[in-house]
Amino acid sequence: MKKATRYALAALIAALLPAPLAAPGGESRHVTIPVTRDTWVSAIGEEQEGNNGAAARLKFKGIQEFSLVDGDFSPLRGRRIERAVLRLHWASGERLGRVTVSTISIPWEEGTGTDYARVPGAACFHLPGAVPDITAVILGNGGSIWRFADASEPDTGGWQSIPIDPAVIQARLDGRSHGFAVIDDVGHEWTRQGDAFRWRPFPARFFHSREQNASVAPRFEVWVTDGAPVAVPPSPAPPRPGDAGCPCEPKRIDLPVIARREEEQIPPRSMEVGDLFGRPLAVLYGARGETLWLDVRGTAGREPALRVPEGFSGRLFSVEAHGDALVPCDSFGKPSLPERTDPKRRAGHWLAEIFVPKSARPGRHTVRLAEGCEVPLEVWDFALPDRLSFVPQMNAYGLPDGQETAYYRMAHAHRTCLNCLRYSWQGTVADGCAPRAAAGGPWDWAAWDRRFGPLLDGSAFADLPRGRMPVDAFYLPLNENWPMDHERAYRGGYWIEKAYPDSYWAEFRAAGREFARHIARQGWQDTTFEFYLNDKVFFKAKRGAWSKCTAPWIFDEPVNTQDFWALRRFGREFLAATGGAGNLVFRCDISRPQWQRDLLDGVCGEEVLGSEMRPYRDRILARQARYGQKFLVYGSPNKIGTPNLQGSAWCLDAWCLGADGVVPWNTIGTVRSWPAPDKTCLFYPTEQGPLPSLRLKAYCHGQQLIEYVTIFTQLAGHDRRAVAAALRRELGLEGLLTKTSADDAGTMRYDRLSPDRLELIRFRLGAWIAAKKPGDRGSWTVPRPFEPVDLRPDKDFFVSAGGSAGR
């Protein structure tokens, strides 16, 4: 007898025999519900529009492809559902492990397509009525609910059973659901033999659909009793009008319209002078506490000699290294590091930097650049705050020995924050970058405090423009391998609840408590301390061995449910250890927010999101409104040779999206950054310390512009979303993402935005604020602390073989 025939016969016999009646809640009746419609959808490329409603198989491939099923559950009305399973019959050799079954909160049509054919109105990833895609109506979004469960081992007939929570079935009966999405939660698989590692991304798993034949068609098996229906958990309340996450349109407002002075015509000058982005200017405008720039061009042999008003400070830089690196000049325009200058330059190019002190008199001043080259400087009657309301976070993975304070100071002076991750892919913390942890005894903090204390109390910056403001963010050395020994503790497997003994978590919690107590004792309340997991299991494959990376999951930019579930456990343990201290947060870098579900809600206090956040912004803003969760947008700096306006525009665009900052993913250059253009180099290394880039100045410009926007929003009493909409409307602030590969962080381009339009908005806002003469403030925003409220127990997500989640 052929194998397929044996499977079909076994399935037919199983369907005819009575099922066991034992179930929680007493005697129950078994009901079989045939699947009446099924299909699978793909989240990949052009396949997103494709339908497979007539296919003879269902496909499961992690987050890339999953199936939709439904049946007629009307015979169950008036009954209490005690237990339910979905039965699927193998069509390939790959078995299912942990599986999610989610309700679908809008109607859908099965369709008649195969091989991803486009069928109008039929189910596909871009499901009709789901905006932007089907993830808006499954996995806890749009009124849906979900649970996951471990599928049974395949029986001799080739069937696997997937437990379904009774509440998920009840939602179908109540009209809150229109069927079910069934998703493979493992996604990626791997095997290990000693130090050898084999990586299997997205293995495809096929099961027969109802179109194959009746004997192998999927079906639901449900056990019911008399009694009241099971309770269906309420869906999260939608954002209300006025909430940050509310999708409704904000009130339309207009930005101030203020005309420039008639006499502001550009006079003849002995040198060409423009603003930071090269736009010719007549008058330089700025607030107290602001850094301003003049782009200066001259002929070879004729250098500027910068003279600033009394009490102001100024610096002159020679623009070198591909027109990006800035080498300080002496008072006569001669570079102080001649070995870093480009001998092939035909004409001089300089950048003059002027800082307007808080004590500056409002009104007209003069900046002198050379004989016959003067620029009026108008100081507005208001000051920028010393505490940043929006943080360009300069990410780094290491700093030159003996120079780290200089890099932090340079970032601070540019109204940005340098944040350097101090551990490797093996979870090994760099020397001196963690306190000495003593098992069972007191920790030795002395060396760590001497090294990092000045950054955290602000004393390292006392003589800089913003004074003793500490760093805004600081990575903790905590990770999966410090202070714990990961390899000694790890038990294997894809699911974190079984991966480690209690002793591992006890050591982790003890470390978290030590940091929380020490930070509180030192009074470092103005820095956000980030517990962040950076490692990725597939680094083991890329580097050819298990030992090359500690993480057994994809922690940074998680992909499948197994990764998000692992992050959730670490985050919950961190919250338990720190007692919810407001400035100690669990940070997660998320590139696929559409697959995050609600697993990190109330757990992750800060998300750093890639370009994919844009179509799913309503979910992110809803978490921001509910929990006080911060979010930043990560990407790459603009390529050298492209307009530096892009860095400033990216900051403004992110603010308009609701973000708290941007994160260029890497910012520290190397010796190779000098001879060849290096896109990620915002800080140029030298033996004497770092030198800034023109692109770093653009981030400072963007941050300062956002302070203008923030002050205007506060003084005018406007909603941030309304101001954001007005800025987008006037500036044409629509970015275009460019990526070189799927793994590229991406770079935003703003081709419609011109320096003239950006400067005009800055002038209008600055003049309007100055007319109000607001008093100086240390900050124009009051950050809302992260509030991990309504934290669901882990057991509530999981369905046991007995039938219910958390029971």
Q: What 3 state SS string does 107-133 have? A: CCCCCCCCCCECCCCCCCCCCCCCCCC
pTM of the model: 0.93
- Mind listing the pLDDT tens digit for each residue in 509-555? 999 999 999 999 999 999 999 999 999 999 999 999 999 999 999 99
Task: Please tell me whether the peptide bond between 75 and the residue prior to it is cis, using omega within 30 degrees of 0.
Answer: no
CA 234 remoteness from chain centre = 27
Of residues 237 and 561, more confidence is placed in: 561
Q: Are strands 325-328 and 363-370 parallel, antiparallel or unpaired?
A: unpaired
Dihedrals phi, psi of 39, to nearest 5 degrees: -165, 175
User: Contact at 8 Å (CB) between 199 and 540?
Assistant: yes
- Complete edge-to-edge strand list for the sheet that includes strand 272-274: 272-274, 291-299, 347-355, 313-320, 325-328
User: Contact at 8 Å (CB) between 511 and 478?
Assistant: yes
- Mind listing the pLDDT tens digit for each residue in 250-285? 789 999 988 777 667 888 998 999 999 999 999 999
User: Contact at 8 Å (CB) between 478 and 531?
Assistant: yes
pLDDT of 1 reads: 45
Dihedrals phi, psi of 498, to nearest 5 degrees: -115, 0
Secondary structure letter of residue 602 according to DSSP: T
Percent of the chain with pLDDT over 70: 91
What CA–CA distance (Å, rounded) separates 702 from 305? 27
Q: Which helix (H) or strand (E) holds 70?
A: strand 65-71
Which of helix, strand or coil describes residue 674?
coil
pLDDT of 25 reads: 47
User: Contact at 8 Å (CB) between 651 and 635?
Assistant: no
SS3 labels along 1-50: CCHHHHHHHHHHHHHHCCCCCCCCCCCCEEEEEEEEEEEEEECCHHHHHC
Is the alpha carbon torsion for 20, 23, 29, 33 positive or negative? negative
What CA–CA distance (Å, rounded) separates 388 from 467? 13
Residue carrying structure tokens 């780290």: 404
Q: Are strands 584-590 and 347-355 parallel, antiparallel or unpaired?
A: unpaired
DSSP 468-494: SPPPSEEE-S-BTTBSS-HHHH---SS
Domain annotation for the chain: domains and CATH numbers: 3-236 (no CATH), 244-389+696-776 (no CATH), 391-695 (3.20.20)
User: Contact at 8 Å (CB) between 112 and 119?
Assistant: yes
Per the structure block, which two tokens stand in for 52? 């497979």
What mean pLDDT do residues 122-131 have? Answer: 97
| In the predicted structure, residue 15 carries a pLDDT above the cut 80 | no
Mean pLDDT, the chain, integer: 91
Per the structure block, which two tokens stand in for 468? 């003793």
User: Contact at 8 Å (CB) between 204 and 65?
Assistant: yes
What CA–CA distance (Å, rounded) separates 512 from 510? 5
pLDDT band at 335 (very low <50, low <70, confident <90, very high): confident
* Cα separation values, 202 from 47, 185, 190, 549, 791, Å: 16, 10, 10, 20, 31
User: Contact at 8 Å (CB) between 528 and 154?
Assistant: no
